[in-house]
Structure 1
C-alpha cells in the first residue's frame, strides 16, 4: 500500500491529485473515488485527525468528501480571495493549485502571489493607522471632522492586486519610524481625504491603484512639515499669488485701453484736419498728436516696467520654492508655466502698441511735411514712385 500523508495541508493536496471523478459537491466541498491501490481506512483515519478537512466518507463505493479550503488549499486565486480572512492576513500555509504554488519561506513567490502579499501587508498597515474600525475590522475610518471622513472597506479581488514598489519605504518612514508619529498619522489621514475628496466610501481595491500617488503626496506633505510648511498651505499661497499676478498682468493693457481707443481717432483727426490751406492749424494738430504719442509712449513704458516687475517677482518666488526639498519643489514647477507665457504675451502686446503709436506719429508727421513743404513732398513722391524701377534697373546691372 502507498503511504498516505498525515499533515492536513499535504493530505488535501494528495487527495486532489489522487481521487478519481473529483467534483465540487457544494460550497468548498470536493468529493471523488479513492483508487483501489490506496488504503481507504488509512485515508479516513488521517481525515478524522485533520480537523475540519474531512467530510462524509462511504467505504462501499470508496467515496471521499473533504474541504480543502479549510486547510489553505485553493484551486484558483479567485477562490482564495473569496475567503475574506485571507484579505487582511496571510495564512501560515496555503496553496494555489492553478499557479502551482505552495507557500515556502525559502523560495521567492511568483509575481501574483507577491502582489497579494503586498496588498495584505498594506491592509494591515492601514488598519494600524485608521481612526476607527467597524464590522470586525472590515471597515476602516479616517476622520478629520463630521463632514470630512472616509470609510475604506477592506475588500479587494485578484484583479485589483498589483506591484507596490513604495510599500516597504512607506512602512519604514510612516509606520515604524518613531519621529513625528502624530504628525505622520495626520498626514496620512489628510492625504487620503484629499485623494478621495469626492467620496465618502471606497473599497481597498479602489485604493490600490492610487497607492503610489498617495505615498508621493504624503512624502511631499511630510517634507514640507519638516521645513515648517504644509503642502496645502504652499499650494494655496502659490495659486493665490499666481491668480493675483494674472490679474495684474491683464491690467497692464486694460488700464490704458481708453487711451488705446483714441489711436484710430487721432489718425482720423489728423487725416481730416491737416490742410495745406491752413498751415497753423495743421501744425497745431501735429503738435497735439506728438504730445499724445509722447504720453502714450510713456504710458506703455510704464506698463512694460510693471510687467518686468511682475516677472521678477515670479522669478523670486520660483527661486524660493526651488529652495524647498526636491519632493516639494518638483510638484510646483509647472504651475508657473502659464504665468510665464502670459508675461511674454503681455510684453509682446505692449511692444506692438508702442510701434503702432510710433507709426501713427510718423504718418501724421509725413502728412504735415507734405503740407508745409509741398515742393519737397512732390520730389519725395516722385522718388518713391520711381524707387521700384530704380531697384529693378540696379538688379539688371
Structure 2
C-alpha cells in the first residue's frame, strides 16, 4: 500500500472545491497534487482509508480539473469537517481536540497559522470540560454526558456550537484554572464547583444545560472563589482563634505566677509593720529590750531587701512576658491583618494585666518600705538617745 499520510489529504482538500454533496472538483495545481491523488488512487485499501476517489478514472495533467468523491477518512486517519460546528459534533471532540483534521470552511488544518479565534476559545473550553470532569460524579464519554449527583441527578450533555463560545470564555477558563492550580483543599474546591454547576443548571432544559453553563461561566467562577474564600477564612479563623486563646491562657498563667511565686514574702509585710511595731519595748540602757528591738528592726530591713530582690526578679519576668506578647501581637498584625481587629484586644488586655502587676509590685515594695520606716521611727522614739552608745560599746 502506498505511503499516504493525512498531510497528503490536506494537500488535496486545499485544492478541492467542495459541492456539499460528498464530492467536488479537484484542481491539479502542481506535481505534488498530482502525485497525491495518484497515491490515493493506487489501490482499494488506500481508498478505504482516505475515502477519496476519482469520479472517472483516466489520465490527467497538471492544470486539469477532475471530479472527485470525498468522504470521511476511516480508521482514525483524521477528520474532515464542513465547519467548526461539524468538528465540535464529532464523538470525541467534546473532551479532546482531534489529532488531525481539516475544516472545509474556512479551509483550516490543525496547526495552521494564524489560528482562528474560535479554535482558541474551543481549546479554552476543553480546559473547562477537564475541570468539570473532575467535579462530576461520573462521565459517559460515549453519550458525551457529565453527571452530577447531589440531592438530585443532573445530567449535562456536552453539546455546543461555535456561536455558544463567547469572547469572555478564555478569560473565565483561565480564571477557573487558577483556582484549581493549587492542589491545596482540592476536594473542597471540587465540591464547590459541583454545587455551583448543579445550582446553575437544575432549572434548565437538559439539552441547553451545557450552553447555559458556558454562558454563565463567570458566575460559576464567582461562586467558587467566594465559597473558597469563606472556607479558607473559616478554617484559618478557627485555627487563629484557637492559637490565640491557648496563648492567652498561657500568658495569663505566667503573669499570675509572678505574684504566686512571692506570695510568702508578701504575707510577711505585716511582720515588717504592725507586728514589728507591737513587739518593740521601751529599753533601759543596753538591756535585753534594746538588743531585741534592734534585732527586730534589722530583721525588718533584711526582709525589705529580700522582698526588693524578689520583686526585681519578677519585674524582669514580666518584661520577658511582655516582650513575647508584643512579638505575638506584631505577628498577628503582619500575617493576619484581615482579622487583626478581632484578636488585638486580647493582647491589649494582657499588656494591661502586666502593667497592673507592675504597679502592684511597686505598691507592695513602697508599703514594705513604709512599714519598715515606721517601725524604725518607732524604735527611735522608744530608744533613749544615750542608748546609741551601746553600738560602740560605750
TM-score tier, shorter chain, comes to 0.3 to 0.5
| TM-score, normalised with respect to structure 1 | 0.47
Greater Cα radius of gyration, structure 1 or 2: 2
